[in-house]
Amino acid sequence: MTLKYKRILLKLSGESLMGDQKFGISADMLKHYAQQIKILVDLGVEVAVVIGGGNIFRGLQAAASGIDRVQGDYMGMMATVINGMAIQSALETAGIYTRLISAIEMKQIAEPYIRRRANRHLEKGRVVIFASGTGSPYFTTDSAAALRANEINADVILKGTRVDGIYTADPEKDPNAVKFDTISFAKVISLGLSVMDMTAFTLCQENNRPIIVFDINDPDNLRRIVLGEQVGTLVEG
């Protein structure tokens, strides 16, 4: 079985961990993601994961609570660590070796981020979970995903969402929205489509790092993508 993508970075939103809940972490969703990632590991794919924190705290919410932006962003980073620990636990329950790596030092629960060490873990078949975003305020976890994908030289960024790709408009609001199978970075920008924030998107564009936006809720999509099947929308070129 030939793999199209040998090393991937999977970007998950914090909200995706909520499942049908309004807040927090759903045990069913953890199991769902762990099962999908295990399939990739069993195929021999090297997997890195970046997860958001929006199910617990989002830095941009901070201003409304009277918390300044920088403090709020650090609180959001802490939320990604909680999510990372949850994903780590679910993966280890499924029999997968993992390493939780934090951009903010927390030596009791996670390794500090060292690029060579992260690469070595991936080469040994461990799933590497990158937590704490970039470790700096004002950067989203999309930016962290783009940064880490470039640093570890991932073949592709897989952005798991609720919809099955990029459309001309929001398909949940516009029934006439048309899906793209492939699209260039320049066209995404010219059409004003929302794939990632501009910092993350530009980082991928400058380094020719392809992005696939796909429906994470379909349990077979990740396997199909790494084997080279057409799933979701590929952004490249």
Residue-wise pLDDT for 115-127, tens only, equals 999 999 999 999 9
User: For 166, which DSSP code?
Assistant: E
The domain spanning residue 221 has which CATH number?
A: 3.40.1160.10
* Residue found by looking up tokens 């937590």 in the block: 131
Q: Give the count of domains, the chain.
A: 1
For 11-46, what is each residue's pLDDT tens digit? 999 999 999 998 999 999 999 999 999 999 999 999
Given a cut of 90, whether residue 186 has pLDDT beyond it is yes
**Residue at 220 is within a domain:** yes
The mean of the pLDDT values for the chain is 95
**Residue at 123 is within a domain:** yes
Asked whether the beta carbons of 84 and 131 are under 8 A apart, the reply is: yes
**Which of 42, 45, 60, 112 has the alpha carbon at shortest distance from 81?**
112
**Residue at 64 is within a domain:** yes
pLDDT confidence of residue 171 = 85
**Residue at 2 is within a domain:** no
Asked whether the beta carbons of 87 and 118 are under 8 A apart, the reply is: no
**Residue at 1 is within a domain:** no
Rounded distance between C-alpha atoms, residue 75 and residue 69, angstroms: 10
* Range from 57-71, 113-127, 176-190 carrying the lowest mean pLDDT: 57-71
Rounded distance between C-alpha atoms, residue 229 and residue 211, angstroms: 15
Given a cut of 80, whether residue 148 has pLDDT beyond it is yes
Model pTM greater than 0.85?
Answer: yes
Q: What percent of the chain has pLDDT over 70?
A: 100
Q: Which long-range contacts (CB under 8 A, 24 or more apart) does 183-186 make?
A: 183/233, 183/234, 183/235, 184/235, 184/236, 184/237, 185/235, 185/236, 185/237
> Residue 10 pairs with which residues in a beta bridge?
49, 158
For residue 117, give its domain range. Answer: 7-235
